[in-house]
Amino acid sequence: MYQWLAVIPVIHFLLLYAVTTKDMLPVLKRNYAIMYLDWLFVPFNYWIGPGVLFNKWLFLAFLLIAGGVVVLLHSRWQAITNKPVETRLFFSTRGLTAQGWIHFIFMCVQSTVVLTVLASHAISSLYLLLLGLLLLYCVAYLLVVMFVRRVRVMSKAEAPFVVLGIVALIIRGPLYLFGF
């Protein structure tokens, strides 16, 4: 029923690729989260339906929370004076670029989907796969930041949320196994 959610990361990528100019295309290709990690959301979103009782009201409540967090993150990224090349794809001196708006919307929606899944009632063992995909995303993101981009993790605006996500996943897994 919710398998259509799997197209969200695909649409995100195709829109970004379509609006990115040739001179900025290498910058897009160096963004590891978009080029590689975000594709984990395709199987994640696909298996939501058979994995959890997806609650639409919970989704709407989390949309407000995720929207606030994404606004906070984007404002922190905007405020960076010495922007990494990857961030310049999303921001100009006037604010968000077309790519920035596409990514902003994707982050709001995908974060809301993730939060809803974490708080929803699991209905099959596929839930463990969903949690595993999220954990893989978070850990891979941290490894890319530390060892590929060679940036201190805690200097990243999104680091507290990634670490919080890992902690939530470590807690949620055993809760599922004990029937919660």
Chain segment 153-175, per-residue pLDDT in tens: 767 778 888 888 999 999 998 98
CA 118 to chain centre: 14
pTM of the model: 0.91
Does the pLDDT of residue 100 top 80, yes or no?
A: yes
Does the pLDDT of residue 122 top 90, yes or no?
A: yes
pLDDT score, position 77: 82
CA–CA dist 142, 126 (Å, integer): 25
Mean pLDDT of 104-127: 95
Tokens representing residue 131 in the block: 């949690």
Does the pLDDT of residue 148 top 90, yes or no?
A: no
- The CA–CA distances, whole Å, from 27 to 16, 84, 145 equal 12, 10, 16
Three-state SS at 81? coil
What confidence tens digit (pLDDT) does each residue in 10-63 have? 999 999 999 999 999 999 999 999 999 999 999 999 999 999 999 999 999 999
Does the pLDDT of residue 84 top 90, yes or no?
A: no
pLDDT score, position 145: 85
Mean pLDDT of 137-153: 86
Q: Could you identify the residue written with the tokens 């594709």?
A: 39
Does the pLDDT of residue 139 top 80, yes or no?
A: yes
* Cβ-contact 155, 76 below 8 angstroms: no
Sequence-ordered list of residues with C-beta below 8 angstroms from that of 61, at least 6 positions apart, any chain: none
Nearest to 59 by CA among 50, 67, 51: 67
CA–CA dist 94, 80 (Å, integer): 14
pLDDT score, position 180: 76
Nearest to 46 by CA among 12, 13, 10, 7: 7
Does the pLDDT of residue 91 top 90, yes or no?
A: no
Q: What is the mean pLDDT of the chain?
A: 91
179 pLDDT band, cuts 50/70/90, is confident
* Cβ-contact 86, 26 below 8 angstroms: no
